[in-house]
């Protein structure tokens, strides 16, 4: 087992074939999941290309939160399938991805926020997703470290409790998919930069790479922050703006926090990993950028907001912070499926929701490629929706942007 993994880690890929049936651009959780699912459907000649090491982008630059308590019926059904696939993933991939389903609490600090959470709870319940509004007595039992007094600037009034939510080891997810896809014959090519995409008479015919040209019948754009720059290579303009998103990790502490905590009012979310570290994230940076630099203002505001929720963590040391980049769409829902360019498919626009959708996106994108039919679950997320006035507004389910 170690052999192939070590080779991948070192970035030593076999030589590029002159031609593939499917080329997937982006060796993160989505690209690798799609390749793995394609191999299960019997599609054989598949390559995954990434400009850097596998999982170097958004797949491991996130806070590893998994949940399906979304706001729209389309979003809830879609992410619910993802949670179910994550629940089976350790068995499916033969690798422990350490999915801890300790629950997810979205905190409400105002009457208006409670009303929003009630709508989400009802939509969730109608679609069979475990989610309900709870108040102080129950919140105290689930997260005793939360400050439920009237001391904070924005006292906590209620929460949306989503028991199946939790966290997972994101690197394990990436490596699990990579390992199994490779075993099933997928060619993984890290350190292979896509520099252009060939289009002849409105159809893709191949990609240009830093390691030479490759012919391809189908090209899938499964990149995150760079989604619109890849789409531009075929002359396609996507309704996407890229923003940085930052997070930090503290020193390890004894386990004291079971659920994931999210506060949209404070733009902060906190969870404790199996190693005991606190992972703390914030809203997207308020400017469009491809920069992955960490900033002091992020550290200051996130720390102070986390302290409003959990005063006992005062004095805990921050070990490191990092940034990723997010491809934000106007409705905070992804863009999946076909495009006006023949053979050019997209699995993009994930904003801050991408990691939690990897298994279902991989499964359904692979189904689309293998059968030529758009699966019902992803049909609502078509690019076309921006031209037919049928947006799927998921901004209300985000803690990261307003
Ligand atoms: O949607 O759960 C979420 C999330 C957390 C961090 C970024 N997005």
What's the gap between Cα 223 and its chain centre? 11
Has residue 5 got a pLDDT over 70? Answer: no
Residue 130 — pLDDT band, cuts 50, 70, 90? very high
Q: Ligand 1, residue 63: give the atom nearest the CA.
A: 6
50-69: buried (b, 16+ CB within 10 Å) or exposed (e) per residue? bbebbbbbbbbbbbbbbbbb
Distance CA 107, CA 235 (A): 43
Ligand 1 close to Cβ of residue 401 (< 6 A): no
Please give the structure tokens belonging to residue 295: 């900033």
3-state secondary structure of 246: strand
Ligand 1 close to Cβ of residue 63 (< 6 A): yes
Report pLDDT digits (tens) over 297-320: 999 999 999 999 999 999 999 999
Distance CA 79, CA 105 (A): 17
Ligand 1 close to Cβ of residue 400 (< 6 A): yes
Q: In what order do the strands lie in the sheet with 132-134?
A: 132-134, 158-162, 104-108, 260-263, 268-272, 277-284, 241-252, 318-328
**Cα radius of gyration rounded to whole Å, the chain:** 21
Sequence ranges of the chain with CATH classification 3.30.9.10: 103-166+242-328
Please give the mean pLDDT across all residues of the chain.
Answer: 95
DSSP string, 345-384: EEEE--TT-TGGGHHHHHHHHHHHHHHSS--TTTGGG-GG
pLDDT for 2 equals: 42
The pick from 225, 244, 400 for probing ligand 1's pocket by mutation, whose C-beta has the most ligand atoms within 8 angstroms, reads 400
Residues in a beta bridge with 46: 22
Residue 1 — pLDDT band, cuts 50, 70, 90? very low
CB 50 within 8 A of CB 28: yes
Sequence ranges of the chain with CATH classification 3.50.50.60: 2-6+19-62+170-239+330-398
pLDDT for 14 equals: 78
Considering the segment(s) 2-6+19-62+170-239+330-398 as one domain, its CATH architecture is 3-Layer(bba) Sandwich (3.50)
Distance CA 139, CA 310 (A): 13
The pick from 61, 225, 244, 269 for probing ligand 1's pocket by mutation, whose C-beta has the most ligand atoms within 8 angstroms, reads 269
The pick from 261, 323, 352 for probing ligand 1's pocket by mutation, whose C-beta has the most ligand atoms within 8 angstroms, reads 352
pLDDT for 401 equals: 60
Considering the segment(s) 103-166+242-328 as one domain, its CATH architecture is 2-Layer Sandwich (3.30)
Q: For ligand 1, atom 8, which residue shows the shortest CA distance? A: 352
Residue 276 — pLDDT band, cuts 50, 70, 90? very high
For residues 21-43, give the mean pLDDT: 98
């Amino acid at each position: 087992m170690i052999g192939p993994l070590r080779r991948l880690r070192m970035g030593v890929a076999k030589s590029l074939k002159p031609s593939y049936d499917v080329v997937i651009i982006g060796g993160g959780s989505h690209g690798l999941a799609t390749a793995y699912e394609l191999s299960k459907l019997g599609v054989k000649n598949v390559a995954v290309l990434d400009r850097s090491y596998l999982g170097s982008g958004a797949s491991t630059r996130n806070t590893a939160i998994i949940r399906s308590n979304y706001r729209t019926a389309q979003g809830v059904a879609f992410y619910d399938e993802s949670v179910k696939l994550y629940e089976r993933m350790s068995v499916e991939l033969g690798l422990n991805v350490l999915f801890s389903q300790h629950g997810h609490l979205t905190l409400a600090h105002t009457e208006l926020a409670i009303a929003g959470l009630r709508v989400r709870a009802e939509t969730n319940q109608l679609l069979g997703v475990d989610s309900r509004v709870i108040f102080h007595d129950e919140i105290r039992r689930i997260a005793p470290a939360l400050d439920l007094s009237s001391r904070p600037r924005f006292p906590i009034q209620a929460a949306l409790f989503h028991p199946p939510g939790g966290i997972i080891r994101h690197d394990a997810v990436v490596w699990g998919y990579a390992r199994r896809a490779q075993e099933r014959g997928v060619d993984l090519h890290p350190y292979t930069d896509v520099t252009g995409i060939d289009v002849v008479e409105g159809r893709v015919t191949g990609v240009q790479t830093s390691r030479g040209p490759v012919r391809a019948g189908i090209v899938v754009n499964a990149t995150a922050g760079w989604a619109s720059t890849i789409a531009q290579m075929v002359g396609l303009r996507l309704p996407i703006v890229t923003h940085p998103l930052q997070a930090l990790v503290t020193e390890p502490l004894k386990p004291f926090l079971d659920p994931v905590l999210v506060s949209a009012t404070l733009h902060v979310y906190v969870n404790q990993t199996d190693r005991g570290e606190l992972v703390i994230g914030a809203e997207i940076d308020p400017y469009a950028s491809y920069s992955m630099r960490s900033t002091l203002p992020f550290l200051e505001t996130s720390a102070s907001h986390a302290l409003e929720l959990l005063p006992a963590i005062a004095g805990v040391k921050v070990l490191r912070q990092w940034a990723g980049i997010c491809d934000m769409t106007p409705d905070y829902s992804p863009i999946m499926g076909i495009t006006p360019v023949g053979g050019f498919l997209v699995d993009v626009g994930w904003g801050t929701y991408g990691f939690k959708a990897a298994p279902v996106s991989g499964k359904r994108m692979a189904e689309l490629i293998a059968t030529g039919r758009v699966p019902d679950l992803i049909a609502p997320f078509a690019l076309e929706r921006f031209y037919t006035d049928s947006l799927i507004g998921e901004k209300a389910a985000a803690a990261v942007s307003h």
